[in-house]
Amino acid sequence: MLKRPFFWIIAVTIAVFAVAPRGTDVELRESLLLAAVYITLASNLNLMLGYAGYVNFGSIVFFGLGGYFCVYFMGTLGWGLVPSLAVAGVAVSVAALLFGLGILRLRGVHFALATIGVNEAVQAFVTNFEPWGGSTGIYLAPELFQPLGGPGPALWVIYYLLVAIMGVSLYLSYFIKRSKFGLGLLSIGQNEDAAAVLGVPTPRYKALAYSASALLPAIAGGLYFFKGAFVQPADAFDLTLSTEAIVITMLGGQGTIAGPALGAYLYEELRGWLLTSETFANFQLVVAGVLLLLIVQFAPDGLMGFLYRRFPRLRRFLE
Amino acid sequence: MTALLEVAGLSKRFGGLQAVEALTFTVVEGEILGLIGPNGAGKSTVFNLINGVFAPSGGRVAFRGADITGAAPYRAARLGLARTHQIVQPFAGMSVLDNCTVGACFGREDLPLAKAREAAREAAALVGLDKRLETPALELTIAGKKRLELARALAARPALLMLDEVLAGLNPTEVTHMIEVLRTIRSRGVSILMIEHLMQAIMSLSDRIVVLNYGRKLSEGPPAQVAHDPMVIEAYLGDPGMVQRRAS
């Protein structure tokens, strides 16, 4: 594993994220922070979308629930940041396993619709769940940043933790792809019936993949909403971010590992440019939608597919 | 001679169509059992009932002593039951080697990835795909895809191999090659249950033959006996007595 170039490409990517923003360069840090969140969401979505071939439109539910758990543990129960993140991650992963065992009996369009349903149902539940503040959400007291050295330094801690989660996401995608589990998932993505006939325990594998794809986005959500010191249903379960994760994965190339990362970076750049341009400021999501249509229609294997065709040798270095 | 696969009173109804009715037969260890019958006789449905693609409406299936009636296909595969599909089902975007590795990984021996690759290479070599290991499955010819179906099933190192028309669509040279491969597989102790329309091939390969018509067993026995069974001749060619009656 260590001899493979891609292992080190991931390591270098993480290192660049870690050292690029320095001291006062808050603008770069915020841009890279968002890129790290996008990469985490897209890489984990890719486990279902790219590997197992299941379109998850509601992947944001993991991110939002993770945010809620974490903020609740810290604000109401007074736990520290790290245990809150860990328990939030595990809790959401277990919840995903349970949802998964239910909705993974569906295929294709029906599954995609059910994932939106899960997100909507969770949002409706949280909106009416008083311990989590109902529709107004939960605010965190500024004192909670004190253990990390106050709000300023805390933002750096959050940034480095998010970069770490991004790194773990990339390695998780990588190790799964090179494992027996990954081979089983890829075969499900290609032809689920044939995979089952060959002995792949399809229901268990799909549920495990769905659950695994929830863990890291939940932790990222915990960090993201801790950073804002505020979580409310409309932000936590916003389908926009789900859709963006799909655009990113398709743009970069579903099923590859470098693809979602590349797609996330490019999308983040594009988004930044659109939001600041006068003409497109209000049309950012329209552009994302058009982009998705164009990719699905003309380049279903995304940027990585294009690169592989143009430079077949890249297959030796990239995954 | 111990029974490897026991099918007892197997039935399947699709709405108004009785596709398989009270079918009983046994595959004993080491034999090649041919399953023949006119188009639509229910042969492929029998395969789908045995390995759990469809749940039967009645009857039971036991494989190596375990009751697998209506169990999921992956359970049958784990127990050592492998099959090919009449209409090839390759993992189109994956290489030949990866296709076979899936078979090896999740087959009877539940091999870890590295060992599965070895088993996959062996299986690919046995069917003559060893020079196309890195080729994506979708780039293979139809004969190549048929071989891949077989290699993938073989990589699982099954106890029983169910072959659904592996010879259909092949040219005479390819058929000859495939028959050689099947003989080799059999010589390695794998039992075979095969559906085939190519009479010459199945008559020479099979130890016994079961004839199916309208979902029921019409005849059973050694190839020579079955070939002279008037009921079988009638099912395939029409009533043999009709010609004589006309002449008289």
CA triple A218-A222-A223, angle to 5 deg: 120
Residue A319 is predicted with a pLDDT of: 85
Question: If you measure CA to CA, which chain A residue comes closest to B97?
Answer: A183
Quote the CA–CA distance of B135 and B141 in Å, as a whole number: 11
Q: Average of pLDDT values for A260-286? A: 84
Hey, of B54, B74, B148, B162, which one would you mutate to test binding to chain A, going by the most A CBs within 10 A of its CB?
Answer: B74
- Domain range for B34 is 1-80+162-248
Is residue A2's pLDDT more than 80?
A: no
Residue B216 is predicted with a pLDDT of: 94
Question: If you measure CA to CA, which chain B residue comes closest to A190?
Answer: B91
Rounded to whole angstroms, what are the CA distances from B15 to B12, B18, B19, B81? 10, 8, 10, 28
Last residue of a domain, one of B118, B133, B158: B158
pLDDT digits (tens, 9 = 90+) for A146-185: 998 888 899 999 999 999 999 999 999 999 999 999 999 9
Decide if B93 and A190 are in contact by the 8 Å CB cutoff: yes
pLDDT digits (tens, 9 = 90+) for A92-101: 999 999 999 8
Token pair in block for residue A267: 């999308």
Decide if A180 and B72 are in contact by the 8 Å CB cutoff: no
| Residue A2, SS3 per DSSP | coil
Decide if B53 and A197 are in contact by the 8 Å CB cutoff: yes
Token pair in block for residue A159: 């940034």
Strand pairing partners for A138?
Answer: A231
Sign of CA dihedral B141, B142, B143, B144: positive
pLDDT digits (tens, 9 = 90+) for B201-246: 999 999 999 999 999 999 999 999 998 888 888 888 777 666 666 6
Considering the domain architecture, whether residues B110 and B62 belong to the same structural domain is answered as: no
Looking at the partner chain, which of A187, A193, A197 has a beta carbon nearest the beta carbon of B77? A197
Decide if A197 and B73 are in contact by the 8 Å CB cutoff: yes
Residue A278 is predicted with a pLDDT of: 78
Among the ranges given (A80-89, A281-290, B79-88, B143-152), the one the predictor scored with the smallest mean pLDDT: A281-290
Hey, of B91, B101, B108, B118, which one would you mutate to test binding to chain A, going by the most A CBs within 10 A of its CB?
Answer: B91
- Nearest chain B CA: its distance from A199 CA (Å): 4
Considering the domain architecture, whether residues B72 and B170 belong to the same structural domain is answered as: yes
Contact, A224 vs A68, CB < 8 A?
no
Cα A113 to chain centroid distance, Å, stands at: 19
Is residue A308's pLDDT more than 80?
A: yes
Question: If you measure CA to CA, which chain B residue comes closest to A196?
Answer: B74
Q: Binning pLDDT at 50, 70 and 90, where does residue A108 land? A: confident
**How is A197-250 classified by DSSP, letter by letter?**
HTT--HHHHHHHHHHHHHHHHHHHHHHHHHHHTEE-HHHHT-HHHHHHHHHHHH
Considering the domain architecture, whether residues B75 and B177 belong to the same structural domain is answered as: yes
Residue A14 is predicted with a pLDDT of: 94
Last residue of a domain, one of B136, B158, B180: B158
> What is the residue-averaged pLDDT of chain A?
92
Last residue of a domain, one of B138, B158, B178: B158
Question: If you measure CA to CA, which chain B residue comes closest to A188?
Answer: B91
Is residue A81's pLDDT more than 90?
A: yes
What residues contact B58, with CB distance under 8 A and at least 6 apart?
B9, B10, B11, B22
Residue B244 is predicted with a pLDDT of: 67
Which chain A residues have a beta carbon less than 8 Å from that of B77? Answer: 196-199
Residue B238 is predicted with a pLDDT of: 76
Quote the CA–CA distance of B126 and B148 in Å, as a whole number: 11
Domain ranges within chain A, ordered by starting residue: 5-316
Token pair in block for residue A73: 């543990």
Considering the domain architecture, whether residues B197 and B179 belong to the same structural domain is answered as: yes
| CATH tag, A5-316 | 1.10.3470
Residue B246 is predicted with a pLDDT of: 66
**How is B69-129 classified by DSSP, letter by letter?**
TT--HHHHHHTTEEE--SS----TTSBHHHHHHHHHHTSTT---HHHHHHHHHHHHHHTT-
B177 touches chain A (CB under 8 A): no
Q: What distance, in Å, lies between the first and last C-alpha atoms of chain A?
A: 13
Q: Binning pLDDT at 50, 70 and 90, where does residue A4 land? A: confident
Residue B169 is predicted with a pLDDT of: 84
| Residue B140, SS3 per DSSP | coil
Hey, of A197, A200, A254, which one would you mutate to test binding to chain B, going by the most B CBs within 10 A of its CB?
Answer: A197
- Nearest chain B CA: its distance from A235 CA (Å): 38
Question: Which pTM does this prediction carry?
Answer: 0.91
| Residue B60, SS3 per DSSP | strand
pLDDT digits (tens, 9 = 90+) for A190-249: 999 999 999 999 999 999 999 999 999 999 999 999 999 999 999 999 998 999 999 999
B198 touches chain A (CB under 8 A): no
Cα A181 to chain centroid distance, Å, stands at: 20
pLDDT digits (tens, 9 = 90+) for A110-129: 999 999 999 999 999 999 99
Decide if B98 and A195 are in contact by the 8 Å CB cutoff: no
Report the domain count for chain B. 2
pLDDT tens per residue across all 248 residues of chain B: 689 999 999 999 999 899 999 999 999 999 999 999 988 899 999 999 999 999 999 999 999 999 999 999 999 999 999 999 999 999 999 999 999 999 999 999 889 999 999 999 999 999 999 999 999 999 999 889 999 999 999 999 999 999 999 998 888 998 999 999 999 999 999 999 999 988 889 999 999 999 999 999 999 999 999 988 888 888 887 776 666 666 66
Domain with residue B49: its CATH number is 3.40.50.300
Considering the domain architecture, whether residues B179 and B247 belong to the same structural domain is answered as: yes
Which chain A residues have a beta carbon less than 8 Å from that of B51? Answer: 197
Looking at the partner chain, which of B53, B72, B94 has a beta carbon nearest the beta carbon of A186? B94
Considering the domain architecture, whether residues B25 and B146 belong to the same structural domain is answered as: no
Considering the domain architecture, whether residues B180 and B204 belong to the same structural domain is answered as: yes
Is residue A313's pLDDT more than 90?
A: no
Residue B240 is predicted with a pLDDT of: 63
ipTM confidence: 0.91
B87 touches chain A (CB under 8 A): no
Token pair in block for residue A9: 């490409």
